[in-house]
Amino acid sequence: MVRELPLDITLAGIRDTMITADARGRVTLLNAKDGRLTGWFYAEAVGQPLVAVFRIVNAQTRCDVF
């Protein structure tokens, strides 16, 4: 029998970078690896706009992608 885990527990355990956001673009989950990538801790990031927590920059133009 396979035991189902809550989605947050499953996503938090993924070794790759994982950030999730709600329909309003607010961060709902940031796993441990993301703290090193973004500089944000989970407790600080949750509820913040995704564009504030994770900035994507075009490599050629150096402009924000969002």
User: 12-57 pLDDT, tens per residue?
Assistant: 666 667 788 999 999 998 876 657 778 888 889 999 999 999 888 9
Q: Where are the domains of the chain?
A: 7-53
pLDDT of residue 23: 95
> Where does the chain show beta strands of DSSP type E?
19-21, 27-30
Domain 7-53 fold is Beta-Lactamase (3.30.450)
What is the three-class DSSP state of 45? Answer: helix
> How is residue 25 annotated by DSSP?
S
Q: Which amino acid is at 66?
A: F
Q: In the block, which residue shows the tokens 């402009």?
A: 63
* Predicted model pTM: 0.67
